[in-house]
């Protein structure tokens, strides 16, 4: 039977905006649609002074809606939910209705309202969880009321939903205490397209793509590359940075730090690229960098960027943190650092530059791993079956 599946507040300006949430939700939606289901995506609301309106359309047979709710206020956000659930009532089937939403889509109270309204509307509620919120450095420095909100989300979200979709082994284990149906679905990518090999304007380069707010990680990479580049003068480092979640305020700091380094002319900074251009940079890179810190935040997460990297067929350099240990083997399908420090990552770059043929083999093996483990096409039927078994 065709299911009616709605994603709520898991995306931001889908399908026009480019973010990890948009990419993964879009791929999950495609997989569910290809499994014979009807899929709708309702974006996070936007807040503008213009009169209220709804933008809608279709992207590959997936319907999407974006509500402009006016001024960002509690009243308008609640009014947004009221309008959403009026819409859900209109498209509801006699059976097989499911609402999937992100655990961090709002406050704990917002989450409770979504759960209540979904039950009232006869939709099974399913929550996705992609990180342990209390582990964020920004949360640790936040006011007590913010800490309390994320404590309630992390510790109690699962009691109010019908199903849970964690991204990592850590989050899957934590979800067991709720005694709810749980299905771990990892990072995803589309492996059906051929690698893009456009003209390479940078020569041999390492690439990092991430948010500007991860200044600590970017600083480590620049230091590691500086050591490496002193031995391999012709190579470059390309940093593709985005400003999501407050990352914009770090850009000046990053640029000033780059200017202070002797290797500054070998570092290229790009911002907010369209996916086609970004993927071309992936596919032409010598190696793709995603350092992982030895802390709870990176242990609980599983970055969507890893699947994207693997789909480009280029080798990745990362850390032995979280789910990396369950999928990857050092020097077989990735280069893996056992330490989060400058010297370790610099040495891995040295090894990569000294073993070019082996790195091509590692990149190809990584892509095969991705096709086997992270291909969105393999999860549509599995997730659809999981939803169908919810009581």
pLDDT of the residue at 104: 75
CATH 1.10.150.120 fits 4-188+375-388, yes or no: no
In this structure, CATH architecture of domain 205-373: 3-Layer(aba) Sandwich (3.40)
Among all chains, which residue has been given the structure tokens 């991430």?
A: 210
Distance (Å, whole) CA 230 – CA 235: 10
pLDDT of the residue at 105: 67
For the sheet with 4-8, list strands across it. Answer: 53-59, 62-68, 38-42, 4-8, 97-102, 124-129, 163-166
CB of 285 within 8 A of CB of 205? yes
Q: DSSP of 126-160, one letter per residue?
A: EEEE-S-GGG-HHHHTS-HHHHHHHHHHHHHGGGG
Distance (Å, whole) CA 349 – CA 361: 16
Please state the domain extents for the chain: 4-188+375-388, 205-373
Among all chains, which residue has been given the structure tokens 């802390």?
A: 295
Tens digit of pLDDT at every position of the chain (391 positions): 899 999 998 998 899 888 888 999 999 999 999 999 999 999 988 877 665 667 899 998 999 999 888 888 888 888 888 899 999 999 999 999 999 999 876 789 989 999 999 999 999 999 999 999 888 877 878 889 989 999 999 999 999 999 999 999 999 999 999 999 999 989 999 998 665 666 677 789 999 999 888 889 999 999 999 999 999 989 999 999 876 545 567 788 888 899 888 888 999 999 878 888 889 999 999 999 999 999 999 999 999 999 999 999 999 999 999 999 999 999 999 999 999 999 999 999 999 999 999 999 999 999 999 999 999 999 999 999 999 999 8
Q: Determine how β-strand 38-42 pairs with β-strand 4-8.
A: parallel
List, for residues 324-353, the tens digit of each pLDDT value: 999 999 999 999 999 999 999 999 999 999
Q: Determine how β-strand 38-42 pairs with β-strand 163-166.
A: unpaired
DSSP one-letter code for 196: P
Same fold, 4-188+375-388 and 205-373: yes
Q: Cβ of 338: how many Cβ atoms within 10 Å?
A: 11
Counting beta carbons within 10 angstroms of the beta carbon of residue 390, is it exposed (0 to 12), middle (13 to 18) or buried (19 or more)?
middle
pTM, entire model = 0.92
DSSP one-letter code for 332: T
Look at residues 18, 20, 26 and name the one whose alpha carbon lies nearest to residue 305: 20
């Amino acid at each position: 039977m065709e299911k009616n599946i709605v994603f709520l507040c898991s995306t931001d300006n889908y399908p026009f905006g480019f973010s990890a949430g948009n990419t993964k939700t879009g791929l999950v939606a495609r997989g569910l649609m290809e499994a014979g289901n009807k899929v709708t995506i309702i974006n996070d609301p936007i807040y503008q002074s213009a009169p209220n309106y709804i933008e809608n359309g279709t992207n590959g047979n997936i319907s999407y809606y974006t509500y402009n709710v006016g001024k960002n206020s509690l009243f308008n956000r609640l009014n947004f939910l009221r309008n959403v659930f009026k819409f859900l009532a209109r498209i509801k089937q006699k059976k097989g209705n499911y609402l999937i939403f992100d655990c961090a889509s709002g406050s704990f109270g917002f989450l409770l309202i979504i759960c209540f309204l979904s039950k009232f509307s006869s939709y099974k509620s399913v929550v996705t969880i992609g990180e342990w919120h209390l582990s964020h450095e920004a949360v640790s420095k936040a006011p007590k009321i913010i800490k309390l909100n994320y404590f309630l989300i992390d510790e109690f979200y699962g009691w109010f939903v019908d199903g849970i979709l964690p991204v990592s082994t850590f989050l899957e284990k934590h979800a067991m205490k709720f005694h709810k149906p749980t299905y771990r679905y990892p990072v995803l990518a589309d492996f059906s397209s051929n690698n893009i090999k456009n003209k390479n304007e940078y020569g041999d380069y390492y690439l990092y793509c991430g948010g500007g707010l991860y200044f600590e990680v970017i600083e480590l990479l620049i230091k590691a590359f500086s050591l490496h580049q002193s031995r391999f003068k012709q190579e470059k480092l390309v940093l593709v940075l985005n400003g999501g979640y407050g990352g914009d305020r770090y850009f000046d700091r990053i640029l000033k730090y780059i200017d202070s380094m002797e290797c500054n002319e070998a570092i290229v900074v790009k911002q907010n690229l369209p996916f086609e251009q970004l993927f071309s940079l992936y596919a032409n890179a010598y190696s793709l960098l995603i350092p992982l810190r030895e802390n709870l935040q990176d242990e609980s997460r599983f970055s969507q960027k890893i699947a994207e990297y693997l789909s480009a067929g280029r080798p990745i350099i990362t850390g032995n943190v979280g789910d990396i240990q369950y999928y990857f083997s050092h020097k077989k399908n990735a280069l893996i650092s056992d330490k989060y420090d400058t010297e370790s990552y610099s040495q891995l770059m040295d090894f990569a530059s000294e073993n070019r043929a082996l790195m091509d083999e590692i990149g190809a093996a990584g892509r095969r791993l991705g096709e086997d483990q992270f291909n969105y096409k393999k999860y549509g039927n599995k997730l659809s079956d999981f939803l169908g078994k919810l009581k």
